Amino acid sequence: MILYALRCACGHEFEQWFKNMADYDTRKADGLSCPSCGGTEVAKAIMAPRVGASKPAPAPAPMPACNPSGCGNAMCPMSQMA
């Protein structure tokens, strides 16, 4: 299914669902009409894509608590305090 933004010759804008692009062409040839005025001069309007917002990155895992007697990791801030 595809959603098209449409506009009639009178300037009315509306949206309509179609099975695919060929379905739009077929229905337009058969007399697609504006729901507001009934006009059959209908064309696709410019439409911005609807892109979903990205999911936030997961929070980094918390650092394990240091062993009071030292963890032996030279990068550990606790080992640099001694």
- In this predicted structure, the answer to whether residue 66 has a pLDDT above a threshold of 70 is no
In a domain, 66, yes or no: no
pLDDT for residue 45:
86
pLDDT for residue 56:
79
In a domain, 14, yes or no: yes
Q: What is the pLDDT of residues 9-27, one digit of tens each?
A: 999 999 999 999 899 999 9
Listing DSSP states for the chain in one string gives -EEEEEEETT--EEEEEESSHHHHHHHHHTT---TTT----EEEPP-----PPPPPPPPPPPPPPPPTT----TT-TTTT--
- Domain holding 32, by residue range, is 2-44
Q: Which residues, other chains included, contact 37 with Cβ-Cβ below 8 Å and sequence gap of 6+? A: 8, 10, 12
